């Protein structure tokens, strides 16, 4: 689970860890939909092992939609509300 930065609230599986001497370590994470993102080591908090979380996740399970996906979802909701 990511606890800070632009990816705050996202949940996924750690795929890779890059060590940079004298700088921040970078963690590459893949979410349940297959999207990969990177964040600093200090922003990552482990909540499980593998794909099994040790805590219950809220609705959405930490999946962050892209801007385009959010717009499509919003337009679909508006279309169904007016129909």
26-80 pLDDT, tens digit each:
999 999 889 999 999 999 999 999 888 888 888 888 888 888 989 999 999 999 9
Domain annotation for the chain: domains and CATH numbers = 13-82 (2.30.30.30)
- Mean predicted confidence (pLDDT) in 23-27: 94
Q: What is the pLDDT of residue 57?
A: 83
Helix (H, G, I), strand (E, B) or coil at 22: coil
Q: What is the pLDDT of residue 43?
A: 94
CA dihedral 49, 55, 58, 60 (to 10 degrees): 10
C-alpha 48, offset from chain centre? 14
Q: What is the pLDDT of residue 53?
A: 85
Query: Dmax of the chain from CA atoms?
Result: 58
Res. 18 pLDDT band, cuts 50 70 90:
very high
């Amino acid at each position: 689970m990511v606890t800070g930065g632009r990816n705050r609230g996202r949940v996924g599986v750690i795929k890779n860890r890059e060590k940079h001497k004298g700088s921040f370590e970078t963690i590459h994470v893949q979410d349940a939909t297959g999207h990969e993102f990177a964040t600093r080591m200090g922003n990552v908090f482990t909540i499980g092992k593998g794909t099994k979380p040790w805590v219950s996740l809220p609705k959405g399970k930490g999946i962050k939609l892209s801007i385009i996906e959010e717009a499509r979802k919003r337009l679909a909701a508006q279309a169904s509300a007016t129909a």
